[in-house]
Amino acid sequence: MTADDQVRGVARLAQLKRDGTPIVMVTAYDIVSARVAEAAEVDIVLVGDSAANVVLGYDSTRQVSVDELLVLARAVRRGLRTPLLVCDLPFGSYELSDEQAVATARRFVVEAGCDAVKLEGGGAIADRARAIGGTGIPVMAHVGLLPQYVDPGNAFHVKGRDADEALAIARAAFELERAGCFAIVFEAVPQPITAAIVAKLRIPTIGIGAGGATDGQVLVFHDLVGLSGPRHPRFVRQYAALFEPMVASVRAYASDVRSRSFPAQAHTYAVPPDQLEVFRARFDQLMVSQDN
Ligand code: KIV
């Protein structure tokens, strides 16, 4: 995508909001999930740092590095044409200074072809967002539950159930809008709190566990297709249960290999008979010479 395409992609989301057309966002981490998202005609694909948990097996999003996420983002880029491609900036790669934030964001655009980046949190993060946006890279914000600030192994909790916390989310959201973010993700925030805040925001809002008042929704790919195991957050709706059929397929394959019923004739390559004859004759000579 060129810079013009980026601008058009971001402008399209604003248009969807104005039209009242819900925005569909899903995560992707590789060529397969990217192709699925492309074929399903979603609006935004996020290479989320949830990759840490669902793809890389870490117990916290804090553990994924910029280099790891860049590999995944490049794979997703190869599978996408239409949706806007957003990538999370990993924990520790953008908080320290505006210079650090801009340098990391540039890597995702230049090295992986991302159209935009996403940052978690408000406060000083709004300054980081402004600095990145000032270089022409669109920034998506993320408020409410911030997985990067949950200690490894700890459970995720709803944010904004008490008035102070809810007001802090509201302040952060308005600050991030003023900082020039083109959209905001609300994660695990009670529906009435989200509804009150998003009604006053001008930029598109995307919810995950935040109810139906946002302009769009996002789900983690592995959660929605049923690949992330039996335990998942309350806000996930599973549209398929692919884990069991995948296990069954690999079990059936293992059984066929063990019983020698795979591969069958249909899975093999033929060789022209004259070439086979020549090969056999020369092979015999080769074997004799090897023995001597
Ligand atoms: O990393 C991620 O998948 C996310 C979504 C949950 C919004 O940030």
Q: What is the pLDDT of residues 44-83, one digit of tens each?
A: 999 999 999 999 999 999 999 999 999 999 999 999 999 9
Asked if residue 49 has its Cβ within 6 Å of ligand 1, the reply is: yes
**pLDDT at res. 262:** 97
CA 197 to chain centroid: 25
Nearest atom, ligand 1, residue 50 CA: 1
Annotation marks residue 187 as catalytic: yes
Q: How far apart are the C-alpha atoms of 1 and 109, rounded to whole Å? A: 10
Per-residue pLDDT at 152: 77
pLDDT digits (tens, 9 = 90+) for 83-133: 999 999 999 999 999 999 999 999 999 999 999 999 999 999 999 999 999
Phi and psi of 39, rounded to 5°?
Answer: -65, -30
Residues near 246 by beta carbon (within 8 Å), at least 6 away in sequence: 227
State the chain's mean pLDDT as an integer.
96
pLDDT digits (tens, 9 = 90+) for 13-51: 999 999 999 999 999 999 999 999 999 999 999 999 999
Catalytic member of 120, 175, 177, 187: 187
Q: Read off the pLDDT of each residue in 218-224 and give the average, rounded to a whole number.
A: 97
CA of 247 to the centre of ligand 1 (A): 26
What does pTM read for this prediction? 0.94
Length of the chain: 292
How much is the pLDDT for 232? 81
pLDDT digit string (tens) for 238-264? 999 999 999 999 999 999 999 999 999
Average pLDDT over residues 280-286: 97
pLDDT reading at 151 higher than 90: no
At residue 1 the predicted structure's pLDDT band, cuts being 50, 70 and 90, is low
- pLDDT score, position 7: 82
Quote the percentage of the chain above a pLDDT of 90.
91
Whether ligand 1 lies within 6 angstroms of the CB of 88 is answered as yes
- Computed over its alpha carbons, how large is the radius of gyration of the chain? 24
Q: What is the reported pLDDT for 120?
A: 98
